[in-house]
Structure 1
Amino acid sequence: MELTRLFKTASMSILRNRMRSLLTMLGIIIGVASVVDMVAVGKGAQVQIEEQISSMGTNMVMIWPGGASTGGRNMGAGSRRTLTLEDTEKLKKESTYLSQVSAVVRSSGQIVSSYGNWQSSVMGVDPSFLIIREWKLQRGEEFTERDIRTSAKKALLGSAVAKELFGDQDPVGEKIRIRNIPFTVAGVLESKGQNAMGQDQDDIVLAPVTTVLNRLSGSRWINQIMASVTDLAFQSEAQAQIETLLRESHKLQPHEENDFSIHNQTEMMDRATEMTGIMTMLLGAIAGVSLIVGGIGIMNIMLVSVTERTREIGIRMAIGAKSSDILLQFLVESVVLSVLGGLIGVIVAFTLAWAATTFIGLRTVIVSSTIALAFAFSGIVGVFFGFYPARKASMMNPIDALRYE
C-alpha cells in the first residue's frame, strides 16, 4: 500500500470519528503543551536570574568575612567579623587589577520624614559603590570622598523609599531621621527592581560608610567589600592578588586558612544556571510523564478501533491486502493521531505561555529545541504505543474476521 494512500486512509478514519479522535489526542496535547511550557518557565526563570545578577554590575568581585575552619568546622562566608576599612584602603592603594573598591556596612532602621515613615535597609558605602553597581541617580548628587572623611550625614534614597516617604514630592534637600539621627537627602537612585534573591533593591537607603559605622552600627567591622576588576580577563589574577593583600593585612601565617572568602559574578551565574537547569529538567521530566499517559490512551483507543473494524480488516485481507499492509495502516493512523496531537499541543503551549506572560507577568522563554524534541517524542509515542494494536490487526485470520459480528 502506498504511503500517500495510507495517510489518506488514516485521515479519513480520524475524520469519521472526530470526537473520539480529539479525546484520543487529548493526552498527547496536554503532554506536549506541559513539556514545552514547563521548560519555558524554567528557562524564563534562568534568564531572569541571569539578568538580575548582571544588573548588580560588571566584572564584580565580592569579599566576605569568615570562611576559615574553626575547630574542624567550616564557618562560612559572613560568619565572622574580620574585614575593616583598613582592608578596603589597602586594596585601593596596592591592587593593580581593581578599578573600584567599596566597603559595605549593612544596617536597618525606621526612616522618618515630614510626610511619613518607613522601615528600610541602610547601607554604608564608598562613592565608588555606585560605579561598581552601575547604579545611576534619578536626581541629586552622589557622595564625595570628603563626605567619607567627615562622616557627613547625607543619604541617597532608593526609589521605593523615596516614594513611601515623599510621594510625588522632590526629596532632594529634605531632612529625614534614621534612628532619630538627622540626615539630608542628597539624591534619589534609579530603580533596580529585584535582585537574584527576590529582594527589592529599591527599598534601601545609602549613606557614607563612615557615617553608618560611627553613628548607626557602633562597630569597626564591615560586612563586605565590593570591587570591580579592570578587565574580565584578569579575574583570576585579581582574586589571587586580593587574597595575598588581605592575608598580609590580617597577618595570617602560611599554615593559617583565610578568614575571608572571595566570590565573583561568574561563579554566581554558573551556580544559578546549574540550579535552574536542574529545575528545568525536573519540570520537563514530570510533564513528560503525561506524554506516556497520552500514549497509553492512544493504544487503548486503537485497540477498540481494531475490534470495531474487524470485518473491514477481513475484507481488506480477502481482496489481497497483506499483513504488513494492515500493520502499516493502523500504525500510520496511530502516528498521525499522535503527531497531530503534538502539533495542537505546541499551539496550546504558545497560547498558554503568551497568556502567562501577558496576564500574570510570568517570564517564559520557549526554546525551539524543546518544541522539536516534544514533537519528535510524540511521533515516537505514536509508533511505540500504536505498534501492539497494529500488530494485533495484522495477525487476524481473514475468515474469522469476516465472520465477526
Structure 2
Amino acid sequence: MFFETLKLAVQAIRRNALRSVLTVLGIVIGVGAVIAMVTIGNGTTAKVTADLAKLGTNLLSVNPGQFGPGRASSEAKPFNYRDVEAMKQQLLGARAVAPLAQKTATVIYGTENRSTTVIGTSNDYFLTQDWDLSAGRTFLDGEMRGGRAVCIIGETVRSKLFGREAPVGRSLRVGSVACEVIGVLQAKGQSSFGSDQDDVVIMPIRTLHRRLAGNTNISRIFVSAKNGGETAKVQRDIEWLLRERRKIAPGKEDDFSVHDMKQILQATAGTTAMLTGLLGAVAAVSLLVGGIGIMNIMLVSVTERTREIGIRLAIGALESQVLMQFLIEAVALSVFGGILGVILGLSLALLATMALGVPFIVSTGIVLVAFAFAALVGVVFGYFPARRAARLDPIEALRHE
C-alpha cells in the first residue's frame, strides 16, 4: 500500500514538473546557502588561526599608548634603545626581545622600483617571528652597532626587482640610501588581513634611524617567551618594568599596551566562529521561506485536485491514505531539494575557498543537519495541506468544478 501511495505521489509531481521545480528551488537555495556559508566560514577561521599561530603563541607585542575609545595612542611617547636593553637584561622569561621601527620607502634596483615597507630591527626579530632565510645571512654585531647599510629582503621584493638574478651581494637603493643585500627571507605569503608579508625590506634599526627616519623612536617591541614559559608572567614583568621606567604613578593608567598573541588568537577564532554561526543562521531563514513555498504550492494542489480526492474517497480510499499521498509529495520535494542543495552548497564553497585561498573544510554535521532540516520542513509544512485534503467531504469534493 505504501509503495502504491508513493507511486501516485511521484506521478502527481511529474504531472506538474514546472511547478515542482519552482517549489524545490527554495529548498535548494536554503540548504546550499547554509552549507556554503558555514564551509567558507570554517575555512576562514582555520586560515586566520594558522596565520596567527605562525607568529607564535608565546609572543608578546608591546606598543606605546592604549587602544580604544577616548584613548589617544599618538600622544604616548615611543620606546627607546634603553627600554629594549632593560627588557633584555631584566626579563628572565624572555627568549628574544626585538625592537621595531618602520617606514614606507621606494626601493630601486636597475630600472625596477616599488614602494615597500622598510623595517628597522635586530636579529631577534627573526626569532620572534619564526622567520628563516632562504639565502644569505643575518646581521653581524658590527653591522648592528655601526648602523651599516645592509638589508635583508622579502620574496616579493626579490622577485619584483631581481627576477631570476641572485640578489645576495647586490646593491639596491632604499629611498636615498644605497644598501647591500645580504639575505633573502623565506616566503610567508599573505597575512589573514590580506597584506603581503613578503613585500618588505629589513635593515639594522640604527641604519633606519640614521639614514631614513631621522629619529630614534621605536614603535613596537616584540618579546618572545622561552619555550614552555608562561607568557602571563612575562607580560606582568613587562608591565611592571615599563611602568617604572616611564614613571607612571600608582593608580594611573598605562601609556603603553602589551598584547599576548595567544589571547588574540583565541579572541579572533571565537569571533570568526561566531560570524560563521550568524551567517549560517541568516542563510537558514531561506529554508523556512522554502518551506512556506511548499505549503502554498501544496494548498494550491489540493484545491486543483479536489474532484480527484473526492473520487478516491468515494470509492473507498481512507483518509490516512490521502493524507500519506500528499505528505509524501511534500517530503519528496524537500528531500530532492535537499540533495541538490548539498551539491550546490559544496560546489559554491569549493569555488569560493579556492578564490579566497582558504582551506576547504567540510563539516559533515552541518551537511547532515541542513539535509535533515530540509526533510523536516517537508513534513511540517506539507502536513497542513495533506490534512486538509484528507478531511474533504467526498460529496462536496465531487461537486467541485
Both structures adopt the same fold (TM-score exceeding 0.5): yes
One-letter identity of the residue aligned with 1:348:
L
User: Given that residues 102 and 119 in structure 2 are in contact (C-alpha distance below 8 angstroms), is that contact kept between their aligned partners in structure 1?
Assistant: yes
TM-aligned CA deviation for residue 125 of structure 1: 0.9
2:40, 2:353 within 8 Å by CA — same for their partners in 1?
A: no
Deviation at residue 163 of structure 1 after TM alignment: 1.8
**Which residue is 1:26 aligned to?**
25
Shift of 1:209: 1.2
Q: CA deviation at 1:193?
A: 1.1
Extract unaligned runs of 5+ from structure 2. Answer: none
Alignment of 1:142-221 (within 5 A): 142-221=138-217
1:359, 1:255 → 2: CA distance? Answer: 51
In the alignment, the residues of structure 2 paired with residue 340 and residue 332 of structure 1 have an alpha-carbon distance, to the nearest angstrom, of 12
Please give the root-mean-square deviation of Cα atoms over the aligned residues, in Å: 2.4
User: Does the CA contact (< 8 Å) of 1:37 and 1:352 recur in 2?
Assistant: yes
Compared with structure 1, are the counterparts of its residues 358 and 259 closer, same or farther at alpha carbon in structure 2 (3 Å cutoff)? closer
Distance 1:95 1:347 in 2: 56
5+ residue gaps, structure 1 = none
Alignment of 1:254-293 (within 5 A): 254-293=250-289
Structure 2 residue aligned with 1:141, among 119, 137, 140? 137
**Secondary structure, counterpart of 1:269 in structure 2:** helix
Q: Does 1:222 pair with 2:221?
A: no
2:324 paired residue number: 328
Q: Secondary structure at the match of 2:230?
A: helix
Question: Aligned partners of 2:116 and 2:151: how far apart in 1?
Answer: 13
Among 223, 237, 247, the alignment partner of 1:251 is 247
3-state SS of paired residue (2:44): helix
Letter in 1 for 2:103: S
What pairs with 1:331-342 in structure 2 (closer than 5 Å)? 331-342=327-338
What SS class does the counterpart of residue 257 from structure 1 fall into? coil
The residue aligned with 2:10 is: 11
* Distance in 2 of aligned mates of 1:113 and 1:171: 10
Structure 1 SS opposite 2:143: helix
Q: Return the offset for 1:373.
A: 2.1
| Contact map agreement 1:33 1:345 (CA 8 A) in 2 | yes
Q: Post-superposition shift, 1:232? A: 5.5
C-alpha deviations, 1:58-114, integer Å up to 9, x for none? 421100011299xx94234x6522311211111111112111110011112121223
In structure 2, distance between residues paired with 1:36 and 1:119 = 41
After superposing the two structures, state which structure 1 stretch, 247-256 or 257-266, moved more: 247-256
How many residues are paired up? 401
Residues in 2 aligned to 1:88 and 1:373: alpha-carbon distance in whole angstroms:
54
Distance 1:359 1:158, change over 3 A: closer
Whether the 8 Å contact between 2:167 and 2:181 is mirrored in structure 1 is yes
- 1:106-121 counterparts in 2 under 5 A? 106-121=102-117
* CA apart distance, 1:284: 2.0
| Match of residue 88 from structure 1 | 84
Give 1:298 deviation, angstroms: 1.1
Which residue of 2 is the match for residue 56 of structure 1? 55
- Residue number in structure 1 paired with 2:342: 346
Task: For residue 400 of structure 1, report the CA deviation from its aligned partner.
Answer: 1.4
Aligned to 1:402: 398
Over the matched positions of the two proteins, sequence identity in percent amounts to: 40
Matched, 1:75 2:72: yes
User: In the alignment, which of 355, 361, 383 is matched to residue 351 of structure 2?
Assistant: 355
Match of 1:66 in 2: 65
Task: State how far apart, in whole Å, the 2-side matches of 1:295 and 1:62 are.
Answer: 51
Q: Distance in 2 between matches of 1:238 and 1:198?
A: 30
CA contact (8 A) 1:302 1:389 kept: yes
* Distance apart, 1:158 and its partner CA: 0.9
1:44 positional shift:
2.0
Question: SS at 1:74's partner residue?
Answer: coil
Q: What is the DSSP-based 3-state SS (H/G/I as helix, E as strand, rest coil) of the residue aligned with 1:101?
A: strand
Indicate the residue corresponding to 2:35 in structure 1.
36
Q: Distance in 1 between matches of 2:103 and 2:263?
A: 26
